[in-house]
Amino acid sequence: MIDNNIFDRVDGVESKVNDVSAKMDSLTEKIDGLLSVKQTATTTHQTENPQVVLKRFISKAKKEYCWLGSEADFQKEKKTALILLATLIGAIVFSTIFTSIAFGMYSAFTLFENIWLIMMCFMSFYLMKAKRFYECYEFSLTSCFKFEPDADGVLRMGVPNKKYKVILVLTCISAICNIIVAWMENNSGMALPATIFELAVFGLSIFVFNFKALDFFYGYSNLRFTGANESTGQKVVLIYEPIMNKLYTEEDYLKQFPFCK
C-alpha cells in the first residue's frame, strides 16, 4: 500500500518563498470554492471541511492518467513507437529464420528471443489501444508497469514489470550466443545474415523498449479527476502534477503547462 496521500498537502501549503506561498494559497482557495458544500443547521449555515469534501470528490470522480503533451505530440510519439516496435518484431522473425537455418535446428537461445517477440506484440497492442487520457484501471491492465492503490484509492503507476527486464536481458544474451554458434556451425553459409539480424535484435531491443516504448508510457505522469460539485452539480476538473506535488484546476494547469493544450 502506498502511504503517500497526494491530497494531504493541498490545503494549507506553506512556503518559505512568499510569492510561491501566495500562489498556492490562491489555488487552494479556488479548489475549495469549486468543491464547497453547505450544510444546513437549525439556525446557521456551516461550510463542510474542504479536506473531507475533496476526498469525497476524488472517491466519486472519474480518474484518468494524462499524457504529458498535446494531442499532436501524443499521436506523433505513439506512431514512432509503433513503427520501431514493428521493426523490432520483424528483426526477431528474420533472425529466427536465418539462425535456425545456420544451426540446422531451432535453438534454446532463439526460444528466449521468441518469448520476447510475443511480449513485444502485446506491447504493440497496448500502444495501439493507448489514449491521451487513460482511465486508471484500464491503464493498469497493460501489465507493463506495476500499479498499487495509494491512500486515496487511486491506482498509482510504479516501476516497469520485472518480467520485461528479465526477458530483455536473456534476449540480448541469446542474440550474442546465437552469433557465436552460427559461425561455429556455419555449414549453410547463413552465418552472416544471421549475425546481421541478431545484432539488430540486440540493438533494437535495448533502444526500442527502454527509450521509446517505456518513454511513451512514462508520459502518463499526471492524474485528472473529473466530477461535480455536490451542491450545484457544476462540472469540476482537477489535475494532479506529481513532480511538484500540486493539485491544479484544469484552467490553471493549462496556463502553467500550455504545451498540454
Q: Are 149 and 136 in contact (CB under 8 A)?
A: no
State the chain's mean pLDDT as an integer. Answer: 85
For range 84-98, the mean pLDDT: 97
Q: Which of 41-50, 54-63, 139-148, 223-232 has the lowest mean pLDDT?
A: 41-50
For range 139-146, the mean pLDDT: 89
Q: What is the pLDDT of residues 159-173, one digit of tens each?
A: 999 999 999 999 999
Q: Distances in Å between the alpha carbon of 241 and those of 90, 212, 233, 235?
A: 38, 22, 25, 20
- 185 or 94, which is more confident: 94
**pTM score:** 0.81
- 28 or 135, which is more confident: 135
Q: Distances in Å between the alpha carbon of 144 and those of 88, 129, 178?
A: 17, 13, 27
Predicted local distance difference test score (pLDDT) of residue 115: 97
Q: What's the CA gap between 58 and 226, in Å, rounded?
A: 8
Q: What's the CA gap between 101 and 95, in Å, rounded?
A: 10
Longest Cα pair distance anywhere in the chain, in angstroms?
A: 96
Who's near 164: CB < 8 A, 6+ residues apart? 119, 144, 209
